[in-house]
Structure 1
Amino acid sequence: MDLRDYVKVLRARWMLIAVCGLVTVALAALLSWSATPQYASSARLFVSTQGSTDDAQANQGGQFSLQRVKSYADLLTGQEIARQVVDDLELEESPGALAEQISASSKLDTVILTVTVTDPDPERAKMLTDAVARVFVAYVAELETPPGKDEATIKATVVDPASTPGSPISPNPTRNLALGLVLGLLLGAGAAVLRETLDTTIRTTRQIEPLVGAPILGTISFDSDAVGTPLISSLDTYAPRAEAFRVLRTNLQFIDPDVERKVFVITSSLPGEGKTTTAVNLALALAEGGEKVALVEGDLRRPKISEYMRLESAVGLTTTIIGRLPLEEAVQATATDGLHVLTSGATPPNPAELLKSEAMGSLIASLRSQYDIVLIDAPPLLPVTDGALLAAQADGALLVVRHGKTTSDQVTVAVERLEAVGARPVGVIFNMTPAKTGGGYGYGYGYGYGYAPDKDAARSAAQSADSKVGA
């Protein structure tokens, strides 16, 4: 994936990223609200040597103090100082717990020590800091007094006593919310990229081409109204979905152009990819283009064409195969000139046996001789073998791939099922792709852009023409 692909992923998964950001901000707000406020009080101590009589001794004493300051910072946070403070103030708190509240630091190349005590109570924080500083001054004097001497060589002096803090140092809601938002956005972006990496569903035409080895003949945009009006014959002439099928009709003409009469099986990897509505609408588009078309309901297990076309389903393909009715009598005319439909007929107990029979081969040959194009709606390839058996008797299969549902593995296995019986995919129909916005021509692989005439302009032109005729 290059940078452009990552940008596309982030744009496509923006909702996931936003949700992660909101969740982490909410967690940060909850933690900030529920956390106990902590107050910090600090005191500063100056470490110096005593008894320096000249500049050389003063310089040596200063270096000695610098070395001692680093050790004193560790002593301040130790158990001994905390124990003495607990004893001095008669606290119920353990020395270990108090030691965790104490911190000490020193600036580089200085003899200034800063001791800080944090506590939920600001007054108590000040009291503890004063006590720690006082105990530490006495402790240094004790440590640095040589045996037999009355005066320490180094002393610590409180130069800035502790003060009562006015505001807590934690929690910091602004900082927590900002960090939560940044962390959430980063987690969301990572989750989006991971999900995209693990997602094997087909989302672009670039994913299809190497899997199938056949051209993409058309891309049908998702239409929420397709459930109520599945057929393009019920749509406006310039509806995007109708335009997409006309583009598919045009591209289909370039498949085996030297063959005058063609037979294609329309199938998919799994149910629910829109193969039946694609077959019906393609047949309607071909008939509207002047072709003589036969649409065969070859899905004997779940026949739907008769329902969409409102035709009789009692007689049809199975009736003709078993010889109970001639083909000419089983084929039904439709409201669209040039389109005839052979419905499934009665559902047999052995669909695969019927579809691979010699009678089925003879029926396909008879339809080929009578029609310009024969389209056979076949069952999906992965659940059953019917689709592959039909494709082996046709000129090839048109594979319907549903955007965002069909996976690359499913397409690969579907192609293998076709090749196993000597059939081949001759084209792909990318179905239910996200609708494009904006106007434009229905070009390329069949993006369903609308390009209807401007009704206001047409009305104005008509009124202008009427006025000229009247004059």
Structure 2
Amino acid sequence: MELSDYLKVVRRRWVSIVVVAVVCTVASVGLTLAQAKEYASSARLFVSTSDTDTSVLNQGGQFSLARVQSYADLLSSRELASTVIDELALDLTPDELADKVASKVATNTVNLTLTVTDPDAHQAQRIAQAYAENLSDMVRQLETPPGQSVAPIKATIVDNASFSDAPVSPKPIRNVALGIVLGLLVGFGVALVRQMLDTRVRSAEDVEQVADKPVLGAIGHDAADKASTLLSDLPPHSPRAEAFRVLRTNLQFVDVDSPSKIFVFTSAVPEEGKTTTSLNLAISLAQTGIRTLLIEGDLRRPRAAKALGFDGAVGVTSVLVGKVKLEDALQHDERTALDFLAAGPVPPNPADLLQSKAMKDLLAGLREVYDIVIIDAPPLLPVTDAALLATHADGAILVIRHGKVTREQLKLSTQRLSQVDARLVGVVLNMVPSKDQSYGYGYGYAPEQADVVDQSGESATRLPARA
């Protein structure tokens, strides 16, 4: 992953990162408040030999350096702890008291510092002083040779036990800072793992990696447009209207030498917005003077007729079985200049009708009349209807809802088309959140980017009507 990929993870999943960071920070604050305050007291001893002879003094210094490490280890002995407990009448076991004591020997010196921590600052001072005095006595006893009264080496207290009423633990600022840093790191790690495990299609790069087909357009999701399904109900320069103009232009550059085109609009799974996309694209095409026909090819769950306000009782099935002539089944919208062929009555065998010779002949006849025919077909994975229709068309266009379809579902959809030798023309990303719209028509029209695709605006998308 490149740096830009990590930044995308942060931008896409910043909420979860912040939540984890807040949880860790709150946890650090809770642990800090739950911890009892600890106070520290330190005493320092100096280890030396009693020899005054200069020749022996250097050897004594080396001897003291070696011994001071042993004396530091004695601070954890149970015998010394028991002596201090008896002297101060402490209600502690030797092991509990030994855990309160820490020692440190300064590098290349004979200075030994012992530190005692305790919830009571005065108690810590008393214990530290008692430890220093008893350690000095223990060293004298251990180092005095048998039959003699003077030890050749001694530990002298040079700093009595200190007193401080400032607690050394807990440290709120440090703990909270560590909680924030740890929370951000953990949050980013969780976000990165989720990103790597998330196989949903979210970008043009995802589409091209799986399907190896271009993204013909990206239709943004704007909460303000929820009440307006039809493109004709939207403001002319709204983001959605601009998005469909870009899609319209890109579609017209597919097979530019062909005088007429038939495209099947489908999706991988239901509820991806392929009916709304095909419907609004057809309206956009018709508004520019292009002879456009929208066919409601979903014979199982037809929805386009209701969205347009047309009668769906007569349509494709009626024509295919010979009950109604084509010209009688066609409906025309005066406001948008769009022609529409409804699905008609729901048949018991949709797949058989769609792959019939009658359907092939119907599309061949419509090709002679219209510049572009758009077929709103069912999803690819649940049924085979869309793949069958695509074999009679110039190609299929897959509508993918942003963040819903997985890469595996997209791959299976492309395989479903290739199995019947149908052509996948491209993909339309639908319901793209505003933060992910980088195609030149987000919140506000971006002329520089849109001109690359849409040329100079509406005039570039107008094709001459066929004679």
Q: Bigger CA drift: 327-336 or 63-72?
A: 327-336
Structure 1 counterpart of 2:137, which letter?
A
Contact 1:122/1:166, CA 8 A, preserved across alignment: yes
Report the Cα offset of residue 163 of structure 1.
Answer: 2.6
How far apart are residue 211 of structure 1 and its match?
A: 2.4
Alignment partner of 1:134 is 2:133 = yes
CA distance in 1, matches of 2:452, 2:32: 54
Shift of 1:297: 0.9
Greater mean deviation of Cα atoms: 398-407 or 210-219: 210-219
Pairing of 1:296-445 with structure 2 (within 5 A) = 296-435=295-434, 436-437=442-443, 439-441=445-447, 443=450
CA separation in 1, counterparts of 2:336 and 2:58?
111
Q: Distance in 1 between matches of 2:132 and 2:123?
A: 14
Q: C-alpha displacement at 1:383, in angstroms?
A: 1.5
AA matched with 1:77 = S
**Aligned residue in 2 for 1:160:** 159
Where do 1:159-238 residues align within 5 Å?
159-238=158-237
Offset, 1:170: 0.7
2: distance between equivalents of 1:148 and 1:317?
121
**Higher mean displacement: 333-342 or 290-299:** 333-342
Residues 218 and 445, structure 1, Cα contact 8 Å, conserved in 2? no
Distance 1:241 1:319, change over 3 A: same
* Partner residue, 1:99: 98
* Displacement after TM superposition at 1:213 (Å): 3.0
Q: Compared with structure 1, are the counterparts of its residues 315 and 241 closer, same or farther at alpha carbon in structure 2 (3 Å cutoff)? A: same
Maintained 8 Å contact 2:239/2:445: no
Q: Report the equivalent of 1:27.
A: 27
Distance in 2 separating the partners of 1:152 and 1:173: 47
**Counterpart amino acid of 2:37?**
P
Greater alpha carbon shift after TM alignment, 105-114 vs 196-205: 196-205
Question: Where does residue 463 of structure 2 map in the other structure?
Answer: none
Does the CA contact (< 8 Å) of 1:283 and 1:375 recur in 2? yes
Structure 1 residues 322-378: Cα deviation after superposition (integer angstroms, max 9, x where no partner): 222222212211133531111122222332222222222222222222222111101
Q: Per-residue deviation at 1:32?
A: 0.7
Q: Tell me the equivalent position of 1:461.
A: none
CA distance in 2, matches of 1:220, 1:445: 17
Alignment pair present for 1:147 and 2:153: no
State the shift of 1:186 in Å: 1.4
Is this contact kept in 1: 2:48–2:61, CA < 8 A?
Answer: yes
Cα displacement (A) at 1:209 = 2.1
Query: Alpha carbon RMSD of aligned pairs, Å?
Result: 2.0
Give the secondary structure class of the aligned counterpart of 2:213. Answer: coil
Q: Does the 8 A contact of 2:213 with 2:427 survive in 1?
A: yes
Query: For the structure 1 residues 55 and 438, does the alpha-carbon distance in structure 2 shift closer, same or farther, using more than 3 Å as the test?
Result: farther
Partner amino acid, structure 2, of 1:407:
T
Amino acid at match of 1:47: V
Aligned match of 2:81: 82
Amino acid at match of 2:364: A
Equivalent position of 1:58 in the other structure = 57
Question: Shift in Å at residue 301 of structure 1?
Answer: 2.3
Structure 1 residues 159 and 438: alpha-carbon distance in aligned structure 2, compared to 1, 3 A threshold: farther
Distance (whole Å) between structure 2 residues aligned to residue 406 and residue 337 of structure 1: 32
The reply to whether residue 38 of structure 1 matches residue 38 of structure 2 is yes
Letter in 2 for 1:12: R
Q: In the alignment, what sits opposite 2:257?
A: 258
- The 1:17/1:445 distance shift into structure 2, 3 A limit, reads farther
Q: Aligned with 1:383: secondary structure?
A: coil
The structural deviation recorded for 1:446 is: 6.4
Distance 1:242 1:446 in 2: 15
**CA displacement at 1:431 relative to structure 2:** 1.6
Segments of structure 1 that go 5 or more residues without pairing to the other structure are 452-471
* Deviation, structure 1 residue 439: 4.6
Q: In structure 2, the residue corresponding to 1:443 is in which secondary structure?
A: helix
Cα distance between partner residues in 1 of 2:11 and 2:222: 22
Output the CA distance in 2 between the equivalents of 1:299 and 1:73: 86
Give the 3-state SS of the residue equivalent to 2:381 in structure 1: coil
How far apart in 2 are the matches of 1:339 and 1:201? 35
Secondary structure in structure 1 of the residue aligned to 2:368: helix
Cα distance in structure 1, aligned partners of 2:358 and 2:452: 37
Q: Secondary structure at the match of 1:416?
A: helix
- Quick check: 24-33 or 221-230, which moved more? 221-230
How far has the Cα of 1:418 moved from its partner?
Answer: 0.3
- Deviation by residue 1:282-309 (Cα, 9 ceiling, x = unmatched): 1001101111111111112222101210
Cα deviation, 1:193-231, whole Å, max 9, x if unaligned, reads: 222222222222122224223332212222223331011
Cα-to-partner distance string for 1:46-83 (whole Å, 9 max, x where unaligned):
11112x13212222222111110111111112322212
Partners of 2:41 and 2:162 within 8 A in 1: yes
Partner SS, residue 290 of structure 2:
coil
User: 2: CA distance between counterparts of 1:427 and 1:166?
Assistant: 74
How much has 1:31 moved relative to structure 2? 0.8
SS at the partner of 1:150?
A: coil
Aligned residues of 1:301 and 1:351 also touching (Cα < 8 A): yes
One-letter amino acid of the structure 1 residue matched with residue 450 of structure 2: Y
Distance of 2:451 and 2:94 partners within structure 1: 79
AA matched with 1:59: N
Q: Are residues 1:112 and 2:119 paired?
A: no
1:5 maps to 5
Is the 8 Å Cα contact of residues 264 and 376 (structure 1) preserved in structure 2?
yes
Q: 2-side partners of 1:354 and 1:80: how far apart?
A: 98
Q: Distance in 2 between matches of 1:3 and 1:244?
A: 29
| Identity score, percent | 50
Q: Distance in 2 between matches of 1:270 and 1:180?
A: 43
Q: Tell me, yes or no, if the aligned pair for 1:118 and 1:125 is still in contact at 8 Å.
A: yes
- More moved, 254-263 vs 199-208: 199-208
Shift of 1:438: 5.3
Deviates more, 1:418-427 or 1:306-315: 306-315
5+ long unaligned stretches in structure 2: 435-441, 459-467
